[in-house]
Amino acid sequence: MPLQNEPDARRLCAEFEIEVIPANEMPVPGQTRAIGTICRIMAKHGEPHTRLVLSTLAETKNNQGLITETSLWAVSDLVQSCSEWIEKDLSSWYAAWDAVPLGYVLWHVQELSGKSHMRHALAGAVYLMLVHYSAGRKANREVSYSFVRRVQKAEGDLSARQIGRQEAIELGRELIEVKESMSRGDWLPWLKKNAGVSYATAISYMRLAKSAAA
């Protein structure tokens, strides 16, 4: 039974020259069987979001033949996660996708079928490549630097023993978050300038946090 917004979904597909074919046919580049998925993405996130999802697949290199349920949902997740990047520099978003070997990634992600959710596995694998090919652009992330003030309140040599194990673990978690939010090579200069803690002490906090999470 057709979904209520299927006419709008088909109109968007036609806008990007994507032909909707029956579910029992094998698609070739420029075709999709996943009209139901497109309808659901549109119902959940709206037409502008869906247009960007479709354009990401239909207008980048070698991806026109990969407009599947899994890839559509993965791209939808990435569009949401990387909205700030897209708003600031849409052309670099498309350029990064031009470089991603999506078919190769999708082929290997399928090896995880039955063990991991394909949508999430594909989104994660592609995200790593997008970061690589876009010179370090990342998903939206609001970095909290509250731990700097907490560290600076401690007295003397800020060792894990002096501030307490739980506090050290919490500081370590926040240090890890900040490091992960930065491009390669930026964290150590930031640590020296802003954190008020030595590199060795920061590493000890981070190790404690990782051990606690294990």
In the beta sheet, which residues pair with residue 31? 19
Residue 208's nearest CA partner among 173, 179, 180, 181 is 173
In this structure, the number of other CB atoms found within 10 A of the CB of residue 178 comes to 22
Q: Give the chain's largest Cα–Cα span.
A: 71
pLDDT in tens, the chain (214 residues): 567 899 999 999 999 999 999 989 998 999 999 999 999 999 999 999 999 999 999 999 888 889 999 999 999 999 999 998 998 888 899 999 999 999 999 889 888 888 888 999 999 999 999 988 887 666 665 445 455 555 545 434 444 445 567 777 888 888 888 888 777 677 787 777 776 677 778 888 888 888 887 7
Q: Supply angle C-alpha 1, 47, 98, rounded to 5.
A: 105
CA distances from 153 to 143, 146, 156, 157, 206 (A): 20, 11, 10, 11, 19
